[in-house]
Structure 1
């Protein structure tokens, strides 16, 4: 299986790209949000999810591993395939997806193209009591992406850092005696209003106030 590719963007298509890795061109499926951030000749790292079927071997690529993790997580729900998962990720940032999942907010998922009310309700219902994915943990820095990016340049923020902070807040509330479902809903409510960059201590304090109301 392939988990990550470092290379240069050779070509871009409507829903895929060709990544040149030392002379080998890998055809990688990608969402519109990812493709909009790329251009031919750009050096990048793609986090890869590999799908193997009897009649196909497909690679799907993401600039951030937490996006890849949600791509997999969403497809654990009946009726959500790769197309629907990409549609959700293209429409809703992962921080909003995590909040909507914790709050059971079907309207957020219904914003995605091709996701009807029935499927949106199923997604919100099934994700509500599940812990969000945190992605893979890498022992080395990964390159940033953008005009200044070069392969080998470490990032300053670990992949999945926002999800890990969310889990730390939930864990603190559970340790204080609240059940996990209540804790996730409180943290999601606070993050939705204060933003994903809010300090952990503030999130915990405000979540406690939310739980006390």
Structure 2
């Protein structure tokens, strides 16, 4: 069973989500927090750090998330670097999606369809992190905010860096991107590292959001 954590401030919604997610085969809810700030505080305890070290991902309710929670999320991501954060949202609202991405959210799920969407990510023929990045593509493309996309490209990437970035947009893992581009895995990682540095981002989700916003792919 794959352990995961749930972060949701609405108690009733948290209970419903917990019950619904029990229907997803292969996962087990092992920790439940009312806010990211609560989780950040709990990380001072060895038991919490041990529990999260076993979790591959956490589900985070975003619609009622406050700015303090997003600041706390940055700290949580620094302390638990392997943890994939999947944000739960109702609608593709840029005012919710973009700050969440900047804070370190790796992908998005819909509240009503969290269980089947999570199952689809887990069954995807790629890593969970890469699969999560494809949800960023779907949600950002669904936004109705015409100001989201900009016509200018403020950062100049090499053609190979752009090719690798577009592989991320399509949800390919580093290994699949390297194979498709005919380069070694180490070379792909080097290009991705360079892309992150040039774009000023720290995750595949943030890189995908940037690529979509500036129409790089």
TM-score w.r.t. structure 2 length? 0.29
- Whose strand proportion is higher, 1 or 2? 1
Q: Which one has the largest radius of gyration?
A: 1
TM-score w.r.t. structure 1 length? 0.29
